[in-house]
Structure 1
Amino acid sequence: MRTHITNAEQFWKTYFNSIVVFYILIGLTALNCSPAQADLIKLKNGGEIRGKLLRTTSSSVETRVIQTLSGGSIAVNSQHIEFITNRPLSIEKYESRSKEIEDTVEAHLKLADWCLKNHLNAQRLEQMANVIQLDPDHSKARAALGYTKRNGEWMTRDEVMRNNGYIKYKGRYVSSAELELLEKNQADLEAERKWIKKVKLWLIWISGNDLLQQQEGLQNFQAINDPHAVAALGRLLGKHKHMAIRSLLISTLDQIPGDKPLRPLSELVLTDPVKTIRQTALDVLTKRNATQAIAFFIEGLKNKSNVIVQRAGQGLEAIGDRTVVPDLISALTTRHTYRVRVPDTTSTYSYNTNGTFGGSGVVLPPNIEAGLLAGRYPNGVIVLPSQQPKVQMRTVSVKHLHQNEAVLLALQKITQQNFGYNERLWRLWWASTQNQTGVVPVLQ
């Protein structure tokens, strides 16, 4: 029995020691598997040496020794070193590989996969950008960079949302109207409310019969230069029935600095019924940096009214920003729906045996009615009543495809090209210019 116990004790002792050794090995492995770091020596002549900086037994620091990624060692005099830094080894390996690979789709994709396995997302996107420079229609690379295909054209999410009238604000997409509200704090809102009271009062004065009040009200408008007044001015003067008041709005906005006047000026350009007002507003708008107004006109290109689409094209032509070319190409032709009143051609009229005319209540003349009953008119008869019956009308929806001349003129001016209304040719040309310039957006 004692021998049996001794053997059991020996077994458990051996087993316990094995477990201890096992966990020690796991711990060492975990330490070794921590993200490997590498050193980089930046030389004063602009060169770089990557690897692992070796410790020297000498107390002298005049020379630093680094073991390169290829395994060799290089000694560098300290006076030639700009600085030394430490980075993950995977980044050093990536930079070495990226300089050595062939400039082919396959090579860049292979390196991109290596980056994915090594958790180098930014570097992977860099390789995918290289892929689409070589193959602009490569679906995998486009998807990795955040592109989707819309109407045959690759677009980023920002471009898709911008085309739909949305702007990115603090990580989410909002409409331009919502953006304006989000950017206002309580102090701004309170200042705008105060201006509403003033503008209402001065508008009453200049619209009244008191000459002195008219002059005072006009002078007050001419002295406004506070951006907080823009909201009140646009709301109360922008849709005023008198053209002179809307003209006063333009001149007042012209003297207010900043971007706030761009919205009401853009609204006048797009919606005012008077051409003179629209042109004056556009002239004032384009005298300043109108970049922030582009979003308003891009929204106009998608308007249900073709009139607004044309005016949006004129606005973008005046601003002249090349980034709107894809939006203009999409708006070269637009389809609009109209509701019109037309004669109800589905109604049919016939002569009834009771002498009435197609249910309209018109009674046939006695001699005609007798002839019909006697069978003298086997092929029927046309009766023109003394008073024509009222034509039945109905409302129908009619779709019409418009070729937007103002949009084409904007494209011609901005690009100095002319492919007419051929959207396909415009897109092919635009894609070729992007490939030539090598501008490929890389999402971070």
Structure 2
Amino acid sequence: MDKIDMLHRFLDNSKRISVIMLTMISLPLSLRADLVRLKQGGELRGKIVTNANEVGYRVCVRTVTGAIITVHKKDVEFETRRPLYYETYELKSRLVPETVEAQWEMAEWCREQRLKRQQEIHLEKMLAIDPDHEVAHRLLGHVERDGKWASLEEHMLDQGYVKHRGRYITPEEKMLLEHSQEERERQSEWMAKASLWASWLTGRLDKQREIALENFRGIDDPLAIPGLQRHLGEQENRDLRNLYIETLSQINDSSAISALVRMGVFDGDRGLRMRAIEKIPENQINFAVAEFVQHLRDSQNVVVRRAAT
């Protein structure tokens, strides 16, 4: 069966596929080896050359023989664009003998092409042939212990470590990191809520203002303080800053005391500064005094005077 007959049969099986044969050419290595997999089975390999007018309707592939094959988008299962050396690898890897030397040569070629996963595949094949091949073990990151080889992950797990985001750490460190992540997520949630509720307070709808006030008055989570500071404490609106002070007084945490002290020395409104100081609980006076002392070192004289009084 000649090529024309084969093409006719191909067209009979899928009427949507059109093939235009071009002159056989040798493609430079700089071209890509993209892959298009068809729903009916089969693959097209080469360079996807779909023009702007055909995007979304057709996929055109220039194959390594120089032919351009055009298929309807609806016939394509998926497509991926890849450098040419992926195609070269797939062709070469099919011909590699099952010997240590041949697999090593292929692994080295993969390393030169920066195909890390493919390199590992051939190193693993080397170990399937020679389980004690030291170089292959080392390149795969394996660790020798008591005459036995183990992957780095197996070794670290045996040592009591756990893997977290690509690093090996102690279970205690993992717990702290996960706790910190949870706190950051909660802070972000409070930041969004404070922004929304603050906008309601300055809006026109009485019902929204009532809901916002009720929500702020119910806050007792220290992780809400950054959001409260940004959307209440740092605003020009005096009422919002006053609400910030009131909300801080509801939070039973040292970070709330620190925030009240900062309002007591940095806010430009004397009445609000005094209000912030008044809201410091008696059982937190010693902590607050230590915070005021820290502000005595401030570069601004006005802040130093406020902290001293």
Answer yes or no: same fold by TM over 0.5: no
TM-score, reference length from structure 2: 0.41
Identify the structure with bigger relative contact order (alpha carbons < 8 Å, sequence gap 6+).
1
TM-score, reference length from structure 1: 0.30
Q: Which has the larger radius of gyration?
A: 1
